Structures are given as structure tokens and as C-alpha cells.
Amino acid sequence: MIKIFTLLMLLVSFVFAVVNVNKANSAQLQTLNGIGPSKAGEILKYRKSHGSFKTVDELVNVKGIGPKTLQNMKSQVSLR
């Protein structure tokens, strides 16, 4: 019973997790709606070249992320 409860709690925390795009690694970024391995890589590349994101809307400057993708993941993203 404890194992089931622990698994359920992990699943709930995963589903409702907010990802800090300024600190997340590729695997963490891939938990965002519409972000797979290649877009996660582009986010990391952009972050390395330009520094931390100042606003969530700045994500549209990343190759492969347009307004629709941003809208789909916006509630899952934080900057801190």
C-alpha cells in the first residue's frame, strides 16, 4: 500500500511540476508540452548563447518554438 501511495504522489508531482527553463536539463525540459529532445536541445543552446531567459515569452526566439507551442507550455514554465 505504501508503494502505491508513493508512486501516486510521484506521478501527481510530475504532472503538476513547473519547470525552470533557466536551470532545467534536457530531460526536465522534455516534460513540457510540445518539447521533445530536439527542442530541448535548442532551448539549452539558446540559453548557453544568450544567458538566462528574462521572460517566458522570450522562448519564441528559440528555433522550433512558435506562439502555439509557447501557449501550450506556458503554464508549466517558470524562470526561477
- 53-70: pLDDT as tens digits: 999 999 999 999 999 999
> What is the pLDDT at residue 17?
78
Looking at the DSSP assignment, which residues form a beta bridge with residue 20? 78
Helix residue ranges per DSSP H, 1-80: 2-15, 26-29, 37-50, 67-73
Could you state, in order of their start, the residue ranges of all structural domains in the chain?
A: 18-78
Please answer whether residues 76 and 62 qualify as being in contact, where contact means their C-beta atoms are separated by less than 8 angstroms: no
Asked whether residue 43 carries a pLDDT value surpassing 80, the answer given is yes
> Was domain 18-78 assigned CATH 3.40.630.10?
no
33: nearest Cα among 69, 80, 78, 62: 69
- Spell out the residues 6+ positions from residue 32 whose beta carbon is closer than 8 angstroms to its own: 19, 73, 76, 77
